[in-house]
Amino acid sequence: MSSTQSLSYIIVGAGVFGTSTAIHLKSQYPNADVTLIDRHEPDAPTRPAASWDWNKVVRADYRDITYCRITPVLLVALEAQDEWRSNPLWSRFYHETGIYWISRTGFAQAVLDNFKTLGRDAELHALPVQEARKLYSNIFDSADYEGVDTVLINKTSGWAAAKDALKAGINKAIDIGVKYIAAEIDCLQFDNSGYCTGVRTDDGKIINSNRTVLCTGAFTPVLLDKAAKSVSCDALSPQKRMIAAGVTTGIVTLDEGTANTFKDMPVCIQENPTQRGASNGTLPPTIGGNQIKFWGQTIFQFSQGTPSFSQPPPGKEYNQWEVPEALKADVAVASEATFGKRDWTIHTHRICWDCVTPTEDFIISQHPASKGLFIATCGSFHGWKFLPIIGEYVVRMLDGTLESDLEKRWAWDRPLPDQPGKEWPRHDLRELLDSVQA
């Protein structure tokens, strides 16, 4: 019997990383004592978690073969895809509408090549713009195609109802015996040898465990920095490994006629010209609500004076509903770049905060500065789709059985690139705030 069986675990953060870890840990080790702690109840009407959202893209359209290997949609052989499609826990939230990916950098061909290399069959094409724009009742006819080489059409990609799937996942974890505590974690606890012994809540309660797993998304740098200061151990701090970064979303409620034209709409992602930002995109109408969601192309940090240390704003729910006009305009750019000028109103703007690494790889790793402390987060704007399976990889990390290529890739200590990837923030929220908020 593995020792994992009898250990106690605290998982801080009930986003996709924490929830999936709780389910896989308790399923594999029913006798383990597993506690999932989040500052919000699972059915809170809104949460600041990046994983809480109306919908998220589920795709296997990656340039990078490593992620293709564990992305649910691409490889039927992988349990992850089976889970989204066939496990009743997840499949009711999943909609395989296809994806329309406007590519400026040979991305479409790279994805085709990946599928070929991996021997995967899927209905996927790299189409010239003139052919692609005629698809889907011409809804993308007025998109911005300047500098575009081809459009990737992958009929086996789609989206999932994010907050509903997340809530179902947390309830599943509770059903199988995970304890759920709604509390704000103020600080990590350490013994004299530097071993992480658990957490302290903001009302002073200490909760002990053999192993503490931080799945705290954008708040992770704050907790680690605080821990480093509390025990005077610089090696605990995130340094340049991760950063809290935000992207803005907004919603359009379609009128009945437009909803009818958009009813078979796929996910649309647009790779931007470099000067405009990383990507923008839109998701198909929500079920029953006829609402489409856009995300803007501007990625920003909130550095508060220290460029490499960004954290979400300290207000209620990271001030996620207080969106400055400049960022509302950023969402409008996404709408126009996808559908041309439209006579519709974008409403319900939100800033979504995630934790990003310079290579956009997750961190799923023991923290080398403290036995008992583990990190499993840093979704880097693409982590949501891994909800059904990522916890299994976290359990392998905890057990010391993670495949060596993934172990290296997700390690706390891994080489940092000279230049961070395109999802690294290039703006600061302070520059974008309305004068009244600044």
Ligand X SMILES: Cc1cc2nc3c(=O)[nH]c(=O)nc-3n(C[C@H](O)[C@H](O)[C@H](O)COP(=O)(O)OP(=O)(O)OC[C@H]3O[C@@H](n4cnc5c(N)ncnc54)[C@H](O)[C@@H]3O)c2cc1C
Q: Which residues are at the interface with ligand X (CB under 6 A)?
A: 12-18, 37-39, 47-51, 56-57, 184-185, 215-219, 223, 247, 249, 295, 352, 354, 377, 379, 381-385
In angstroms, what is the minimal distance from the CB of 284 to ligand X?
Answer: 12
In angstroms, what is the minimal distance from the CB of 76 to ligand X?
Answer: 19
In angstroms, what is the minimal distance from the CB of 124 to ligand X?
Answer: 18
In angstroms, what is the minimal distance from the CB of 293 to ligand X?
Answer: 9
> 322: how many CB neighbours lie within 10 A of its CB?
16
Beta bridge partners of 152: 101, 126
Going from the C-alpha of 229 to that of each of 213, 304, 427, the distances in angstroms are 19, 18, 27
In angstroms, what is the minimal distance from the CB of 368 to ligand X?
Answer: 20
126 or 188: whose CB is closer to ligand X? 188
The secondary structure of 140-198 as a DSSP string is TTTS--TT--EEEEETT-EEEEHHHHHHHHHHHHHHTT-EEEE--EEEEEE-TTS-EEE
> Residue with the closest Cβ to ligand X?
379
In angstroms, what is the minimal distance from the CB of 414 to ligand X?
Answer: 18
In angstroms, what is the minimal distance from the CB of 4 to ligand X?
Answer: 21
151 or 215: whose CB is closer to ligand X? 215
Place of tokens 């200590």: 413
Evaluated on CA atoms 323, 143, 385, 424, the torsion sign reads: negative
126 or 215: whose CB is closer to ligand X? 215
133 or 198: whose CB is closer to ligand X? 198
Beta bridge partners of 102: 151, 270
Beta bridge partners of 379: none
In angstroms, what is the minimal distance from the CB of 84 to ligand X?
Answer: 11
- At position 97, the amino acid (one-letter code) is T
278 or 369: whose CB is closer to ligand X? 278
Residues with Cβ within 8 Å of residue 141, at least 6 apart in sequence: 133, 134, 340
Q: Residue 407: left if φ>0, alpha if ψ -120 to 50, beta else—which one?
A: alpha
135 or 364: whose CB is closer to ligand X? 364
Q: Which of helix, strand or coil describes residue 320?
A: coil
2 or 66: whose CB is closer to ligand X? 66
* Best CA proximity match to 271, nearest among 65, 416, 63: 63
* Best CA proximity match to 189, nearest among 227, 238, 236, 146: 227
143 or 278: whose CB is closer to ligand X? 278
